[in-house]
Structure 1
Amino acid sequence: MRAPLPLQPVALGVFLTLFVLVTVLGFLGARWRRGDLGTLDEWGLGGRRFGTLISWFLLGGDLYTAYTFIAVPALVFGAGAIGFFAVPYTIIIYPILFSVFPRLWRICKRHGYLTAPEFVRGRFDSRGLALAVAITGILATMPYIALQLVGMQVVIAALGLGGSGVWADVPLFVAFLVLAAFTYTSGLRAPAIIAIVKDLLIYVTVIAAAIVIPMHLGGWDKIFAAVPATKLTLPVPGPHTLGSYGAYATLALGSALALFLYPHSITGILAASSGRVLKRNAALLPAYSLILGLLALLGFMAIAAGVGTAPRYAAGFAAYHANFAVPALILAAFPPWFAGVAFAAIAIGALVPASIMSIATANIFTRDIYRSYLRPDATGAHEAGMAKLFSLLVKLGALVFILGLPAATAIQFQLLGGIWIIQTLPAVMLGLTRMRLRAGALLAGWASGMCVGTAMAASTHFKSAIFPLHLPGALTAPGYAALYALIVNLAVSLVLSAVFNVLRANSDEEPDQAARFEF
């Protein structure tokens, strides 16, 4: 049972006003850039008509979620400098976006694909490989949606609405119903239009925090002086180990390779009006990395403010651990009205990605499972109806997931998302090249990576995504399990593809359809 925090009436009033505003905008999204929302292309991709500015807000809302605003500073607050891996990680992703994904957009536009699994099925002429990519996308996204609800839980508790017993989760159910309603009616247009308000609120909140909180605490020198030396920098590795250096580097690289493979990221990409829009966004989106760096520093500010030891916030820390660091810091440093603005920014920052994630998984289920295996003759209207229904079921599943697990446990499970989704990289990213990859080899590589990555996470009892890999010469290389599993995946995929290609060359078979794919 969670002990409730003191009610914040002024902050709550501001929060509810802004929340109602974005709810109205979500429903009005159905009338914005009108299209036939009875088709999956319009409901699930906004008709592929979003220009540079809207795509910038949409992709920003896609990638910088409530989990980022809560968990990155929470990691810095609890573990120190290792949490700053998120900054180089978000810098690495934009060259990937610039060089790889405009090509995916062009191919999907030409062939009418709405999802990555559709592209994989067309590229490799393999329903089995496409199904594996589809299931992986849905599986990796579920805990991600649940974690948006974790962010909302923390904010709701900070406002004093946590309650106890069954009443503790009533505000979360209300937020779930709002999310479900405007996603069902407006499709991708709703998060696209709400993302504009969300991003403006986030920028105002973070810039104000970067100015006001250091003044409140006596300056940056006092903030860094209050942080224990062990948290200011990465610990120097001992002999025969890469220590935290290896963990930091592999977390940054592995997370960057995984990010744009998530269904919600690809949905944001395919909703753009052209590949040129994506290239412009690759140049503009690094502005969010500056905000992320400032967000990470909130963890150090929370340490300097002593929010982890303040009796007033003991209940919040008991329920949500380090995840409560940022809300507690905001309550301590700002007047109640601005705390309401900041909490609305975090909550809306949960609604936007959660709605995009549910739409993306609904697109995948409808096109790559329902239509492919259950009802091949489904009409466009039937597809849209099924996608809307499945988007509700996904959100309901995420809600059940988070209610059944403690917040800290759920956040650890999110790390599995990266381990799983990165296993689709060979089929999706390498599939964009003319490499002679074979579907059977890619499927074997996917299975190997999934098993190895999940086993590595299970060996730590899912408490950490860092796996201590023991190399020859008594060298230990702690690293992100997702990256190690991807290496296994690539090795199996490339070696088996080479073997299969040699066997085909020695036979009299005609070239397969994948070799004739139109790029």
Structure 2
Amino acid sequence: MTENLTEIIVFTVLFLLVSGMGFVAARWRRPTDLASLDEWGLGGRRFGTWITWFLVGGDLYTAYTFVAVPALMFGAGATGFFALPYTIVTYPLIFLVVIRLWSVSHAHGLVTPADFVRVRFGSPTLALAVAITGLVATMPYIALQLVGIEAVLKSMGVGGELPLIIAFAILAAYTYQSGLRAPALIAFVKDTLIYVVILVAIIYIPARLGGWGSIFDAARAKFEATPAPGDGYLLNANNQLQYVTLALGSAMALFLYPHSVTGVLAARNRGVIKRNMSALPAYSLLLGLIALLGYMAIAAGVKPVSSGGKADPNTVVPQLFDAMFPSWFTGVAYAAIGIGALVPAAIMSIAAANLFTRNIYKEYFRRDATDAQEASVSKIASLVVKIGAVLVILLIDPQFSIDLQLIGGVIILQTLPAVALGLYTRWFHRAGLIAGWAAGLTAGMVLLYNIANPATDHAHFGGSAFPLGKLGLDTKVTVYAGFLALIVNLVVAVAGTLIARAAGSPEGEDATRPADYFADEGDPRVQPVELTGSH
């Protein structure tokens, strides 16, 4: 540990500085009272263009970006580059969704995606299904952030669980106190550090390794020397469909996550969202450069840190920085990764807590809960969610940390018919949507259960690439499990809708109006929807 002393000192100082900002954030733009979900969970819904830019960017570009994607490039090759087209495709898709979602949420004081489903389809049961799905899908995503912090600690020679627990406790404390204002304020520092580190890395590291040609040649040599199904310097016939469906499925899933919606609903008006959705693709350029760190690690001969007799691929980027940078700048880079994990973890836990409070606690336990009671329950729930994320790490041991996010994507995709399509059409019957959700989620879990992971000796939940050969087809082609599960969901939802209408099953009441989907700042005051309808 002494040989990493400089790195540890720099990392600790920056980490504590940013954590201190998290506690101070409670006083930043402080309202008269933080005791409501609008203030604690959505920052008062008053964030402008710049704050929203950093908040949403900090929300979407996480340890998944800085640790998981390069690790997948290092271990599996070209298939890891799916993250680039995925983030390029996602913004035109979500542009169609989030503006309408912001408007209807503004008009009715909605806080979560399940709130929207509740008022759109008049079904507390469907809203509960969406809320539970969001909670479950968020757990592995938060776990991925903790894995990112753990990878940095391992690279600094800091062993044991205590440092990770301490970081976890600090995160929990400032989230509890400051709510969404904490990650919004910290995101400024986080993005600045990340941009500095990556810009230095893409100039300095290739210069030391003999240029980009040498880097790509080294990557090609590695994958040609150790061929494996689904891996390679270039895509092959077996993983091209997986690549396409994974990119498209991930793009559709991104803004279904509760934390993505939370960042959007905190914006001040529709114009803020439009400007951000137009400008956020700039992050995709950064993501492409970050992904190439995996190939740089190959060229640099980086060896992942071994833990328990097994190499941990998640340590590839920290080990690359340690090998290439002077100690003081390595400490800065480590801090960028650690802080890059703290910001989204905070937003995710807040979003999950809001789901529990609005769509489970208030709906089923205390309909007359006050704003202060809602905020109090959300604070406690945010702590429980983080504990759940730790359990995910203990119970699931993926080969690549990115699998934690991909498994979450399979789950959250099953809310697409109710949330994303529901913003444009009410053709689906609530009974059909519930049936489709149940069928899609069941199919997704069965598919994930049957994906093995030989690298970790896990027979189940080893990733998201499902071999079509397991469906009886004579092929080695793989496909994203979430894509297949969504198809099952949509087919059942359509069939269920037709059957429900034929049987005369009552439709739920739609409490929204066409004008609600175009409401903007300055429109008539928010009019909360009363909780009505049968379960």
Question: Secondary structure of 1:268's partner?
Answer: helix
Distance in 2 (CA, whole Å) between partners of 1:203 and 1:21 is 18
CA shift digits 1:268-300 (9 cap, x unpaired): 111111122111111111111111101110010
Question: Contact conserved, 1:6 with 1:159, CA < 8 A, in 2?
Answer: no
Counterpart of 1:119 (choices 109, 112, 116) is 116
Structure 2 residue aligned with 1:16, among 9, 12, 18? 12
1:360 aligns with 2:351: yes
Q: Distance in 1 between matches of 2:385 and 2:135?
A: 9
Higher mean C-alpha displacement, 395-404 vs 472-481? 472-481
| 2:467 alignment counterpart | 468
Asked whether the equivalents of residues 180 and 350 of structure 2 are also in contact (C-alpha less than 8 Å), the reply is: yes
Match of 1:253 in 2: 248
User: Which of 180, 196, 199 is matched with 2:172 structurally?
Assistant: 180
Deviation sequence 1:291-325 (CA, Å, 0-9, x none):
110111001000000012xxxx6536955521111
Structure 1 distance, partners of 2:58, 2:428, is 34
**Counterpart residue number, 1:138:** 135
Deviates more, 1:472-481 or 1:289-298: 472-481
Cα shift readout 1:311-369 (whole Å, capped 9, x = no counterpart) = xx653695552111111100000000100110000000110010001100110000000
C-alpha distance in structure 2 between counterparts of 1:217 and 1:409, whole Å? 26
Comparing 81-90 with 10-19, greater Cα deviation is found at: 10-19
Segments of 5+ residues of structure 2 without an aligned counterpart are 224-230, 452-459, 517-535
Residue by residue over 1:395-442, the C-alpha shift from the partner in whole angstroms, topping out at 9 and shown as x without a partner, is 122224324554648654443211110000000001101341111000
Is 1:331–2:330 an aligned residue pair?
A: no
- How much does 1:516 deviate? 6.5
Which runs of 5 or more structure 1 residues have no equivalent in the other structure? 163-167, 238-242
Q: In structure 2, what is the equivalent of residue 236 of structure 1? A: 236
Alignment correspondent of 1:218: 210
**Which of 36, 47, 50 is the aligned partner of 1:50?**
47
- 1: distance between equivalents of 2:41 and 2:252? 24
Return closer, same or farther for 1:495/1:119 CA change in 2, 3 Å cut-off: same
1:159 is displaced (CA, Å) by 1.6
> In the alignment, does 2:487 pair up with 1:495?
no
Aligned to 1:240: none
- 1:269 corresponds, among 264, 273, 278, to 264
With 324-333 and 472-481 compared, the bigger mean Cα shift is at 472-481
Determine if contact 1:98/1:282 at 8 Å carries over to the other structure: yes
- Is the 1:70–1:323 contact (alpha carbons within 8 Å) kept by the matching residues of 2? yes
Contact 1:27 1:182 in 2 (8 A): yes
User: Pairwise CA RMSD of aligned residues?
Assistant: 2.0
Q: 1:444 to 1:396 in 2, by over 3 A?
A: same
Q: Would you say the 8 A contact 1:436–1:515 is kept in 2?
A: no
Equivalent pairs counted in the alignment come to 497
Going from structure 1 to structure 2, the CA distance change for 1:473 and 1:380 (only over 3 Å counts) comes to closer
Aligned-partner SS, 2:306 = helix
Deviation at 1:378, TM superposition (A): 0.9
- Distance in 1, matches of 2:309 and 2:190, equals 29
Distance of 2:385 and 2:365 partners within structure 1 = 19
> Matched residues in 2 for 1:227 and 1:488: separation?
38
Per the TM alignment, residue 100 of structure 1 is displaced from its structure 2 partner at its CA by 1.4
State the alpha-carbon separation in 2 of the partners of residues 464 and 390 from structure 1. 28
**Partner-residue secondary structure (3-state), 1:484:** helix
Are residues 1:26 and 2:22 paired? yes
Deviation at 1:30, TM superposition (A): 0.7
- Contact kept? 2:138, 2:348, Cα under 8 Å: yes
Instruction: Map 1:95-494 onto structure 2 (within 5 A).
Output: 95-162=92-159, 168-229=160-221, 230=223, 233-237=233-237, 243-308=238-303, 314-315=305-306, 318=309, 321-403=312-394, 406=397, 408=399, 412-460=403-451, 461-469=460-468, 474=474, 477-494=477-494
Partners of 1:404 and 1:473 lie apart in 2 by 32
Matches within 5 A, 1:77-96: 77-96=74-93
C-alpha separation in 2, matches of 1:442 and 1:458: 24
Amino acid at match of 2:206: P
In structure 2, C-alpha distance between the alignment counterparts of 1:150 and 1:348, rounded to whole Å:
13
Question: Higher mean Cα deviation, 181-190 or 92-101?
Answer: 92-101
Q: Percent of aligned positions with the same letter in both sequences? A: 55
Aligned-partner Cα distance in 2 for 1:362–1:113: 14
Cα distance, 1:404–1:426 mapped onto 2, change above 3 Å? closer
Q: How far apart are the structure 2 equivalents of 1:214 and 1:409?
A: 25
Quickly say closer, same or farther: Cα 1:369–1:380, change in 2 above 3 A: same
Letter aligned with residue 498 of structure 1: L
- Given that 1:456 and 1:467 are in contact with CA atoms closer than 8 Å, whether structure 2 keeps it comes out as yes
Aligned CA distance change for structure 1 residues 491 and 6 (closer, same or farther; 3 Å): farther
Q: Is the 8 A contact 2:314 2:400 kept in 1?
A: no
Q: After superposition, what is the alpha-carbon deviation per residue over 1:207-248, rounded to whole angstroms, capped at 9, x for unaligned?
A: 1100000011111111111113546643432xxxxx111011
AA aligned opposite 2:6: V
TM-score by length of 2: 0.89
CA contact (8 A) 1:307 1:325 kept: yes
**Using a 3 Å threshold, how does the CA distance of structure 1 residues 314 and 431 change in structure 2: closer, same or farther?**
closer
Change in Cα spacing, 1:475 to 1:284, as seen in structure 2 (3 Å) is same
Relative to 1, partners in 2 of residues 1:500 and 1:147: Cα closer, same or farther, differing over 3 Å? same
Instruction: Give the Cα separation in 1 of the matches to 2:428 and 2:120.
Output: 10
Structure 2: how far apart are the matches of 1:407 and 1:350? 18
CA distance in 1 between partners of 2:474 and 2:322 (Å): 49
Instruction: Report the alpha carbon displacement of residue 474 of structure 1 after superposing the two structures with TM.
Output: 4.8
> 1:122/1:435 Cα in 2 relative to 1: closer, same or farther (>3 Å)?
closer
TM-score of the aligned structures, taking structure 1 as reference length: 0.91
SS in 1 for 2:425: coil
Aligned partner of residue 254 in structure 1, secondary structure? helix
The question of whether the paired residues in 2 share the 8 Å contact of 1:77 and 1:303 is answered with: yes
Query: Shift of residue 482 of structure 1?
Result: 0.2
1:316–1:324 contact (8 Å) kept in structure 2: no
Q: Which residue of 2 aligns with 1:165?
A: none
Partner Cα separation in structure 2 for residue 175 and residue 397 of structure 1? 16
1:354 aligned partner, one-letter code? A
Q: Distance in 2 between matches of 1:85 and 1:411?
A: 12
